[in-house]
Amino acid sequence: MKSRVIIMDEQGAPSVLRQDTVELDAPGPGEVRLRQTAMGLNYMDVYQRSGYYPLDLPSGLGMEAAGVIEAVGNGVDDFKEGDRAAYGGGPPGGYAEYRNLPASRLVKIPDAVTDEQAAATMLKGMTVEYLLNRTDQIKAGEAVLFWAAAGGVGAEGAAAALPEARLGRARRRGNLGEPVGRRARSVERGGRQGLRYRGDRHHQPARDHCRLGPGQRRGDSSRDRLAVAPDHGDL
């Protein structure tokens, strides 16, 4: 069957993206064919398109999507035709009408979640999960500072940390750039307090309060997203 896809033969400005039609084989062993109804957009897509992250070319673009399974390959037991499913991560190629994917990379979408919601939260949600549950274990009396709290990861992180805060395990703060209106949105999404910053003005004081997790060192990329500090009042 044929599928419309977005392809780039070189990296650069948005003009490098072009629509093409490709022939899609039947799903192989362990694979499913997903008819994609919604695709997530991420900053990583911009990095890959621009060349900030090198890619083997030609390449597709897009890291997460949701849709309906239309065919299953041999050995697939967890999914059937008609199931709604979503994925995040893996090789770029999410900007596509149809896509063959390993069944092991997909999750079923609950009835209460729309395709659009699933496609928009997979990659960011997995990032939040490892930051809150694996990078560091939040302890009672600590404050959690989310860098760029008005963004996707920051917003989901504040919402995910809300049950922990209600149990008295942690307090949530968001570190925000301009405009000021983003601070109010971060609080609405579950943050207790929004902190304005311009450039690195508030970064260093916050970093000075950070407690590093096992095997981490100052400057690790994980701490660009999540900082855990003893709760000494306002950072």
Residue 26: how many other CB atoms lie within 10 Å: 11
The residue behind tokens 């990659």 is 123
pLDDT higher than threshold 90 for residue 111? yes
Question: Token digits for 23?
Answer: 């022939």
Residue of 103, 96, 101 lying closest to 22 (CA atoms): 96
User: How far is the C-alpha of 197 from the C-alpha of 175, rounded, in Å?
Assistant: 7
In angstroms, the CA 187 to CA 183 distance is 7
Q: Is the pTM of this model over 0.85?
A: no
Report whether pLDDT(179) > 70. no
Residue 24 and residue 36 in contact, taking contact as beta carbons nearer than 8 Å: no
- Using CA atoms, how far apart are residues 26 and 156, in angstroms rounded to an integer? 36
Contact between 128 and 40 under an 8 Å Cβ cutoff? The reply is: no
Written as one letter, the residue type at 123 is L
**Cα–Cα distance list, 176 to 36, 99, 186 (Å):** 34, 37, 8
In the chain the domains, ranked by start, together with CATH numbers, are: 2-122 (3.90.180.10), 136-230 (3.40.50)
Peptide bond into 29 cis (omega under 30): no
Kindly state the DSSP code that residue 59 receives in the 8-state scheme. Answer: B
Q: Which residues contact 37 (CB under 8 A, 6 or more apart)?
A: 66, 67, 68, 115, 119
pLDDT at 227 over 50: no
N residues, the chain = 235
How much is the pLDDT for 147?
64
pLDDT for 206 beyond 60: no
- 150 pLDDT exceeds 50? yes
CA distance 21 to 30: 24
For residue range 44-98, list pLDDT tens digits in order.
Answer: 899 999 999 999 999 999 999 999 999 999 999 999 999 999 999 889 999 999 9
* Rounded distance between C-alpha atoms, residue 102 and residue 90, angstroms: 10
Distance, CA of 109 to chain centre: 16
pLDDT at 167: 40
